[in-house]
Amino acid sequence: MENENLYEKPVTLKNILKFAVPTIAMTVFMSFYTMVDGLFVSNLIGTDALSAINLTAPVIQLVTAISTMLATGGSAVIMKKMGEQKADEAKEDFTFLILVNVVVGIVMCAAGYLAMGHIFAGMNLSAAVQGYCVEYLSRYLIFTVPILLMNNFTLYMIASEKANLSLMCSVAGGVLNMALDYVFIAGFDMGISGAAIATGLGYSVTAVVGLFVFSRKKSLLHFRKPAFRLQVLMSAATNGCSEMATALVTGIITMMFNWTMLHYVGENGVAAVTIIMYVLMFASSLYTGYSYGVAPMLSFYYGEQNNEKLKKLVAVSLKVITAISLLTVAVSFVLTRPLVSIFARPDNPVYDLAVTGNRICTIALFFIGFNIFASGMFTALSNGIVSAVLAFSRSFVFMLITMIVLPALLGVNGIWLATPAAELMALALSAFMFLKKRKRYGY
């Protein structure tokens, strides 16, 4: 089979990048979805509306957390079965997990609408910002099921040797999002609701294409009569729980950032946090894309017990992550002011806050890539517990500690330093787990 030949090729940088480059480009383009919203919203509506997008982010992350868990965990389980030559069983499990996501999407959408009225009431927001929050979230939730399908089909396309198609879907969705942002906000004067609808339609491109692609029997993975295997669902949940934890606690930490900024600076501080998160999100998408790209390879080699290829893949990956880290740090430092000026003019008080914050937060880019790769690697190796420990510690425990201690000691600068400090602590834990499990997995 074509798929078998591709996985059986030698592990070289060139062959690894054939897997990884499309997924890196894909995740970078996906990060544009939110950034483009911020760009149009901040310039065409104002920084109050930009703050609202950040304030709704924790709710959106909560909605997608379970889907992220099933997508990443399910991909690891299914590709491990493919490596064990259990193709029919893998296809049944694939179909079953997609159906589970549809049900989850419907439930989460309903829960979001029921809770929406109470979410923003206790934040002491201005009437304008609170109104923007409700307006944006109410439109976004309409697309819950397509967004969850997009999360899943993105990873399953990669696992099915269709990384280029996944990239094309992401590019098409991103371009559609950008075009509709302008049409809906500037042309039709739909305000922030237009930004939400544009994002939802952009995400839906991958969902629609995925339904067609996986309905074809020529695809390595395709829909067939599902088999309800509770063990598969449990394995997917266990393997992907680190990614779910990351999504959940990222939402919690975002809320903490917002509340702390509201306390020290006010709503301008929330807008500055939003801009810096866009920069960090863009850089992190490079690492996430690489990890997504090599994850099916890790799972496949682990399934066939090919320690030699596994070891070489991990070694090359660490060098790639190092190179990306140095590049992103340099670019972020040099382009801080131009990046911030895209979202806020120099005469806006948000501008100086964001410039200072970005220069401090850029330090975190030295560490983020290794932490993302370590967590993704253990997920691909079907060790969801270690992956969850790394992700939960990085995203919640260490961030909670630094967010409590550093602002109390250093004020606003302490808020900015919280992310680099937490990532450095997470790097120490990632290195410890990496060395501890090395002999077990043979990498």
User: Residues with Cβ < 8 Å from 101, sequence gap 6 or more?
Assistant: 67, 70, 71, 148, 149, 151, 152
The pLDDT value given to residue 249: 67
* Both structure tokens of 41: 């919203």
288: helix, strand or coil: helix
Closest to 443 in 3D by CA, of 310, 275, 265 = 310
Specify the pTM. 0.69
The pLDDT value given to residue 2: 42
User: Residues with Cβ < 8 Å from 440, sequence gap 6 or more?
Assistant: none
The pLDDT value given to residue 6: 63
The pLDDT value given to residue 320: 93
* Both structure tokens of 410: 């250093």
In angstroms, what CA-CA distances link 111 with 94, 99, 116? 26, 19, 8
The label of the residue with tokens 């929050």 reads 133
* Full DSSP string of 114-144: HHHHHHTGGG---HHHHHHHHHHHHHHGGGH
10-21 burial code (b ≥16 CB/10 A, e <16): ebeeebbbebbb
The pLDDT value given to residue 208: 95
The DSSP symbol for 221 reads S
Which stretches of the chain score pLDDT less than 70? 1-6, 32-34, 122, 242-243, 245-247, 249-251
* Full DSSP string of 83-117: HTT-HHHHHHHHHHHHHHHHHHHHHHHHHHHHHHH
CA dist., res. 354 & res. 336, Å (int)? 9
